[in-house]
Amino acid sequence: MAASRVEERVACSLGQRGVPDIRFEQGQALSCAGVLFLLPALLAQGLLKTKEVYTWPSKVYYSLESIVLTLAFMALLRIKNPEQLKQCKPGEIGRVIGLDRIPEMRCLRNKLRLLTSQNQAMPLNNLLVDSWYKEDSSQDADFLYIDGHVRIYYGNKANLPVKYVSRQKLCLNATTEYWVNDTKGMPVMMVMGELTEKLQTVIEEQIIPGLQKTKLLAADGPVVANQPVCTFVFDREAYQPAFFKRLWEKYKIAIITYRKNVKDKWCDESFESIDVKVMQQTVNMQLCERGTQLGGYWFREIRRLNGDGHQTAIITTHPTLETQFIAGRMFARWSQENFFRYLIQDYDFDKIVSFGTEPVNPEKEIVNPEYRKLNHQLKKLREKIRRVEARFYPLLQLAIDQPIDELPVISPKLAEYKEKIEDFRKQERTLLLQRSQIKPRLKVIQMPEEKRYNKLKTESKLLMNVLRMICYRAESAIAEYIAPYLARDEDEKRMVVKQIIQSSADISPDYINKTLTVTMHSLSANRFNYAASELAQLLNQTETIFPGTNLRMIYKITANSYCEG
């Protein structure tokens, strides 16, 4: 029976006592207890910072620490949502957090609602950013990668705008999350787009104000002449020379991005061979730098000459960064794409956390959906016209050049194409007339009520994304530590971490000596056991105290880790 602490549960439900004590019992081969090997990393990444921003009732069975630990362990164990808890062993996972069982699905959703009703996800994120990037270790945040991730909506309750989803090659109902990552690809911050905002708007109205509440872009931070306080790296989605200059003059923020609409080619002899460091690898590139004027502003332009002769153009407003570092930072933008791919595959972070919708700002101005629809119809119709004209005009030229006796063969085709073109032109004039009678832009409140845009509930998604940031950072920290002990570190390190998380372990509390020993069972290979043994030694040096107790964590493994595999 999982719920064994019945008297305490009844007393809490009647409001007669507060949160019960965390009490561990001897356990053998507890399922997924290996996740406790990541507890020190979770605490180091600020998991318990939640206590500083959230309030919690005193007379409940599950404490805030227990709920947050449950959510973090669910993410690490790849339990995608509370409904999947029905397929788990609630008693065994409960004993991992020092209780008789974890919350059941309905209880956990109620606790999530209690957290999200306080709207503290962004303050929590800001608090975590300050702990991740202290003054003596903020170099990783000197360059920040910014990109949008489109989250597809498959339901029918929300009325969302249509967005182009590149990975599906389709236009679908979706929302956009805008992520900020550091130079190592670690997540820093996430903001949610309401409707169809451009990346430029999100950067100025949400990301910069959010970062200014942290130490990364604090207004009272040190300012060095001719040096940016931070450098943003993004793709062509936010391309606009005036926007780049405004970031530098108003916020002292430099940019690195790809240049759009490159029509000229630089002489191949002007490129020189330079070694560039990209994502921990050294790549030899053919690079050249010149000054260029775009939109009336001067920028530094760096081009890379590829083997096929194509020239990739990069522009920047950073005044002093060396050419090879600019190229390295730009091409390392794939670290953020790798982060998206990993979270989609392993954390399934596109799932809806809380069902329901919220209204958007009624005064927000958007492109009129009817105007956009007519524009799309015009675009498709003009494509048809161009295809028919591509057949009509060569045939017309052929008719002019052919002898008179061959004209009857060509004339029927010419007449058919001519009729099609005239019909299409008539439809085009009709669509243009309809479009002229519609406003190109309107406010949300001016939309018909049955078609008015709204949005999915955002606070629960923000909170879960912040917790996923903590889990991803913790998992990455463990992976980086065990990497030197693996023969194929880049291929195996995350796989071994996931194996550690999913492994069974024994739990042995000693309340006299105030210790909690976690003994993990053997992994699938001896070389993995060796890496796990080295990890256990490191974790023991941290002398981690389990939250809510005075028990010091001791980590061991059962396997003979020093056998050669």
In tens, the pLDDT along 237-263 reads: 999 999 999 999 999 999 999 999 898
Terminal C-alpha separation, the chain: 40
* Residue 247 confidence (pLDDT): 94
Beta bridge partners of 314: 258, 302
Q: Which residue shows structure tokens 């009336």?
A: 296
What is the C-alpha separation between 80 and 347, in angstroms, rounded? 7
pLDDT number for residue 384: 93
Question: Alpha-carbon distance 422 to 481, whole Å?
Answer: 70
Identify the CA nearest to 84 among candidates 71, 97, 98.
71
495: buried, middle or exposed (CB in 10 Å: 19+, 13-18, 0-12)? middle
Contact 189, 211 (CB under 8 A): yes
d(CA 41, CA 54) in angstroms, rounded, equals 21
Torsions phi, psi for 348 (to 5 deg): 50, 50
Return d(Cα 37, Cα 481) in angstroms, integer. 13
What's the pTM value of the predicted model, to 2 decimals?
A: 0.88
Indicate the class that CATH gives domain 123-347: alpha beta
378 backbone φψ class: left, alpha, beta (φ>0; ψ -120 to 50): alpha
For 24, other C-beta atoms within 10 Å of its C-beta total 19
Residue-level length of the chain: 565
Assess contact for 252 and 281: CB atoms under 8 A: no
Tell the burial category of 133 from Cβ atoms under 10 Å away from its Cβ (0-12, 13-18, 19+): buried
- The torsion angles phi and psi of 106, rounded to 5 degrees, stand at -65, -40
* Rounded alpha-carbon distances, angstroms, from residue 150 to 21, 366, 439, 496: 43, 18, 28, 30
Backbone angles phi, psi at 344, to 5 degrees: -65, -45
Per-residue pLDDT of the chain (565 residues; tens, 9 = 90+): 677 788 888 888 777 777 888 999 898 989 889 999 999 999 999 999 999 999 998 888 899 999 999 999 999 999 888 888 888 888 888 889 998 888 888 889 999 999 999 999 999 999 999 999 886 555 678 899 999 999 888 888 888 888 888 877 888 888 899 999 999 999 999 999 888 888 999 999 999 999 999 988 876 655 667 789 999 999 999 999 999 999 999 999 999 999 998 988 999 999 999 999 988 889 999 999 999 999 889 999 999 999 888 999 999 999 999 999 999 999 999 899 999 999 998 888 888 788 888 888 888 888 888 998 999 899 999 999 999 989 888 877 777 766 666 556 567 778 888 889 999 999 999 999 999 999 998 888 988 888 888 888 899 999 999 999 999 999 999 999 999 999 888 889 999 999 999 999 999 999 999 999 999 999 988 999 999 999 999 999 999 999 999 999 999 998 754 444 4
The pair phi, psi for residue 29, each rounded to 5°, is 50, 50
How is the chain split into domains, by residue range? 1-118, 123-347, 369-438
Q: How far apart are CA 501 and CA 492, in angstroms?
A: 14
**How far apart are the C-alpha atoms of 65 and 156, rounded to whole Å?**
36
* Radius of gyration of the chain measured on its C-alpha atoms: 30
Q: Which amino acid is at 468?
A: R
CB-based contact 276:287 (threshold 8 Å):
yes
What SS3 state is found at 555?
Answer: strand
Query: Helices 526-542 and 489-502: crossing angle, nearest 10°?
Result: 70
188 three-class SS: strand
**What's 101's DSSP letter?**
S
Helix and strand element counts for the chain (H, E):
17, 18
Helix ranges (H only) for 359-406 are 369-401
DSSP per-residue string spanning 438-461: S-SEEEGGGS-GGG--EEE--HHH
C-alpha dist (Å) from residue 296 to 43, 60, 104, 180, 199: 50, 63, 61, 29, 22
